[in-house]
Amino acid sequence: MDRREQLLGHNMPLFYRNPVQIVRGEGVWLYDEKGNALLDMYNNVPCAGHCHPHVVKAIQKQVAILNVHSRYLHEGILNYTDRLTALHAEGLSSAVFTCSGSEANEVALNMARIATEGRGIICTDAAYHGNTAEVARLTRRGGEQSREIRSIPFPQCYRPIKDNLTPSALTDLYLAELESAIEAFTKDGTALAGMLLCPILANEGLPNIPPGFMPRAAKLIREAGGLVIADEVQSGFCRTGCWWGYELMDFEPDIAVMGKPMGNGIPFAGVVAGTELVNIFRDSTKYFNTFASSPLQAAAGMAVLDVIESENIRQNVIDVGKYLANELSQLQESCPFLGEVRGRGLFIGLEWVRDRSSRTADPEGAYEIVNCMRNKGILISNAGALRNIIKIRPPLVLQKEDADLFLTAFEESMREFDGAI
C-alpha cells in the first residue's frame, strides 16, 4: 500500500477496507497471493470470464503474428465490424474504433456535434461517461446547466421528482424536464446536438425507469434536431439479457457507444452509427487512433463474440439473472434495509436504505455490506447517484451454483448487519 501510494500517488481508487491483492483469474474466480479464491460478482470487463481460454488463445496468436495501426489494409477489423454491426439495429452499419470508453464517447459527442452543427448535449444529473475533459463535463454531480450541456433529473420510480403519481404521469413529468432542457438551449441560441444516455442508467443506480421514457425521449430529441446517443459501455454485449441496452429499453439510437467487455480486457472501445454519419465525422476529423482498429483488437473482439454465441451466454444471463433476482427479492422480506431489488440479466442493483418506508439512502450501510461480503470471499461494490446501490454484475458466465454461493454469503451479511445495528 505504501509503495503504491509512493509510485502512483494517493487517492488512487481501491476497493474494500481490506484491499484485495490478486495474482490470477479464471472464469468467475479471482485468486489472492495466498491462493484464496474470491468469487468475482463485479467485473463487467471480462464478460467471457477471466482468462477465457478461447479469448486468451486468440490474443496469443495475434500478438505473435501482427499488431500494428490502421493506416494499412488488414482484414481483421473489417471482419469484426461486419459481425458487430450485424448484431446492431439495421441503421448502425459503420464503426469508429478507439481504445477506451472515454475516447468512444469523445467520438460520439464530436460526431453528433459535427453532423447537427449544434453544440447542445443533454445528459442526466448523475451520469458518468468517462474521464477526458469534454466527456467529464457530463459528470458533474448535481448536474450541469451551461450553454453546451444541460442535465435532466434521471428518470426513476424509486425516488421520483414528485410522489404519488401514476407511472405514466411520472413519465410525462420526466419528459417535461427533457422538454425544458431543449427549450433552454433554444433560448440560449444553442442548437441541439443530441442526448447521451446509458439506456439502463447504470451509473445513476440502475433505476426502474418510468415506462416508455426512453423511446419518447428519443423522439423528442429527434424532433428537436438532435441525435440520440446510447452509451452501451456497461449495458452492451448481453449484460442485461438483450444484446444492447437500447433493445431492452425499446428505442434505437443514432450512435451506440461500446467499451468495457468488448475485448474481455484488451483495451477496445468504439461507436457504431449510420454510414453517412460516420462519413461526415471522418471527413471533418480524419480521425486516427494509434492503438485502435488494430489486428489485436479485432482478434480479441472476435473471440469474445465467438464465446458469447457458442456458449449461449445470452440465455445464461437471462436464466441465472432471473434466478438471482428472484432469490434476492425473497430475501428482501426479511431485511428492512433492502429497499428494492432491480435490474435485468446479470446486472442487479440493490437499494440499501435506513428503512423501507423512509427510503433514506444508506451509503455507509451499503459499504458495510460490500466489505462484509469481501471478507466472505465475494467481490461486489456500491455505486449510484447516492452511493447506496449495491451493484452485482459478474462475468456473464456465472452459473447457478456460483449464484448460490453469493446468496448464502449475502444472507449472512444481511443478518450480521441487522444484528450489529
**238 and 313 Cβ atoms separated by less than 8 Å:** yes
Candidates 52-60, 206-214, 325-333, 385-393; binding stretch for a second copy (CB under 8 A): 52-60
Judged by DSSP in three states, 230 sits in strand
Which residues inside 112-131 make contact with a second copy, applying CB under 8 A? 131
d(CA 153, CA 151): 7
C-beta of 148 vs 188, nearer to a second copy: 148
Tell me: does residue 43 bind a second copy (CB under 8 A): yes
Q: How far is the CB of 95 from a second copy (least distance, A)?
A: 6
Q: How far is the CB of 111 from a second copy (least distance, A)?
A: 10
Q: How far is the CB of 302 from a second copy (least distance, A)?
A: 14
Structure-block grid coordinates of residue 391: 451493484
Binding residue for a second copy, selected from 13, 142, 189, 419, defined by CB under 8 A = 13
C-beta of 37 vs 421, nearer to a second copy: 37
Handedness of CA 327, 328, 329, 331 (dihedral sign): positive
C-beta of 198 vs 341, nearer to a second copy: 198
Which residues inside 271-330 make contact with a second copy, applying CB under 8 A? 275, 278-279, 281-283, 285-294, 296
User: Taking CA 348 as the corner, what is the angle to CA 343 and CA 353, rounded to the nearest 5 degrees?
Assistant: 95
Handedness of CA 35, 36, 37, 43 (dihedral sign): negative
The phi, psi pair for 128, rounded to 5°, reads -140, 125
d(CA 163, CA 86): 42
Count the site residues for a second copy by CB under 8 A.
Answer: 86
Tell me: does residue 68 bind a second copy (CB under 8 A): yes
Which amino acid appears at position 68 of this protein? V
Candidates 15-23, 157-165, 248-256, 317-325; binding stretch for a second copy (CB under 8 A): 15-23
Give the HSE-up count for residue 269: Cα atoms under 13 Å, Cβ half-sphere: 24
Q: How far is the CB of 235 from a second copy (least distance, A)?
A: 15
Tell me: does residue 382 bind a second copy (CB under 8 A): no
Which residues inside 84-113 make contact with a second copy, applying CB under 8 A? 85, 93-96, 98-103, 106, 109-110
137 DSSP 8-state letter: G
